[in-house]
Structure 1
Amino acid sequence: MKLQFSLAQDASPTLHADIQTLIVAGWAGRDLTAIEHHIEELAALGVPRPSAVPLYYRVANNQLTQADTIQALGTESSGEVEVFVFTVDGVMYVSLASDHTDRKLEAYGVAESKQICVKPVATTAWRFDDVVEYWDELVIRSWIEEDGQKVLYQEGTLDSLRLPQDLIEGYTGNKNILPEGHGMICGTVGAIGGIRPSNTFVMELHDPRKNRSLQHTYRVETLPVIA
């Protein structure tokens, strides 16, 4: 899947990434006790336990999109803000993605629930080396629309999640830079007030040192479930 990114807001695209392999890193938190608690919570709802922590889900690369409107089957899917890393000409970059997931299907299989939904990606990016020294200070957050109001849905610093280098090494076995042609979605933070759907999802990665942000907004068009 061919994606285009600019390195500054409102600039023309300067990066062209051809993503052939898409990986969604699940259970990517640093606090193993908190992860186990979350696994038990989901297990009580019928969601199968992961076979490993972290777990690397493969999703078809044609599920990546930079559109501002997506389509989803039924009303039980929702977004998750996550960082997205990829490599172009030997340089790794960080952008923003939503691991949009079908929550009803999740009880049947997490991999299936991730595959059925497209993964929206922002159109701006930063060089990973420009933020790696203070990576843990970066903030990811998202908002949803409820009763016509914009509501904060997720917010947290990246110190709660595993470093991309660690996730990449866990997937590749020995590398700390993602191979060319690969894209990795790197984990998320909890939903404030619980996981729930919304027809609008706004996501942001904020750099407090340089007072800049990567942002992306998408709307969800619901398709009817026909039996």
Structure 2
Amino acid sequence: MKISFLTDDAAQPTLNVDIHTLIIAGWAGRDMAAIEHHIEELEALGISRPSAVPLYYRVSSNQLTQDANVQVLGGESSGEVETFVFNAGGELYVSIASDHTDRKLEAHSVAFSKQACVKPVASSAWKLSEVAEYWDELVIRSWIIENGISVLYQEGTLASLRTPQDLIAGFTKGEVTLPEGCGMTCGTVGAIGGIRPATSFTMELFDPRRQRSLRHSYVTETLAEVA
């Protein structure tokens, strides 16, 4: 999937990247006790225990999109903000993406639920090396529109999640970087007030030291489920 990113690098202000491998890193929190508690909650709802923690879901790379308008089937899907790390020209970059997921299908298969929805990604990125030293201070947030009002849906620092280096090493069996053309989402924080669908989703990665943000918004059109 060919996508472009704007950067802060004057020498290379635009990246044209061919992402051929897309990984969704699930169960990416650092607190194993909290992860186990959440697994038990999901088991009570009929959602199977993951086979490993963290777990790396492969999703078709053509599911990546930078469009502001996307289509979903049925009304049971929702977005979640995640950092998105990818390799371009031997350099690791970070952006943000939404692991938009069909929650109804999730009870049947987490892997199928992730494949069923497109994955919106921002159109700008930073070099990972610029923020790696203070990665835990970065903040991810998202907002949804409810009753015509913008509502904070997610917010938290990346200190609660595994670092990209840790997740990359788990996926590559010890390598320190992703292969060229490989992109990975790196986990999310909890939804304020619980997971729920919304037709408008805005996400942000905020850098408090440099007072800058990566942002992206998208609107979903719901397609009718027919039998």
Same-fold call, TM cutoff 0.5: yes
Report the secondary structure of 2:122's partner residue.
coil
Q: Superposition pairs for residues 117-128 of structure 1, below 5 Å? A: 117-128=117-128
Structure 2 residue ranges without an equivalent (≥5): none
1-structure distance, mates of 2:178, 2:93: 10
The structural deviation recorded for 1:13 is 5.9
Deviations 1:154-209 (A, max 9, x none): 00000000000010000001212111010001100000000000000000000000
Report which stretch shifted further, 174-183 or 160-169. 174-183
2-structure distance, mates of 1:201, 1:104: 19
Q: Which amino acid aligns with 1:95?
A: S
User: 2:31 maps to which residue?
Assistant: 31
The structural deviation recorded for 1:48 is 1.0
User: 2:135 maps to which residue?
Assistant: 135
Q: Is the 8 A contact 1:4 1:13 kept in 2?
A: no
Count of matched residue positions in the alignment of Structure 1 and Structure 2: 225
Q: Give the superposed CA RMSD.
A: 1.2
Report the secondary structure of 1:113's partner residue.
helix
Deviations 1:12-63 (A, max 9, x none): 9610110111000000000000001111111111111100000000000110
User: 1:183 maps to which residue?
Assistant: 183
User: 2:164 maps to which residue?
Assistant: 164
1-structure distance, mates of 2:13, 2:61: 20
User: 2:155 maps to which residue?
Assistant: 155
Report the secondary structure of 1:56's partner residue.
strand
Structure 1 residue ranges without an equivalent (≥5): none
2-structure distance, mates of 1:38, 1:127: 33
After TM superposition, the runs of 4+ consecutive aligned structure 1 residues lying more than 3 A away are: none
Q: Which amino acid aligns with 1:27?
A: W
Q: Superposition pairs for residues 70-149 of structure 1, below 5 Å? A: 70-149=70-149
User: 2:63 maps to which residue?
Assistant: 63
Q: Which amino acid aligns with 2:168?
A: I
Aligned identity (percent) is 69
Q: Which amino acid aligns with 1:225?
A: E
Q: Which amino acid aligns with 1:88?
A: A
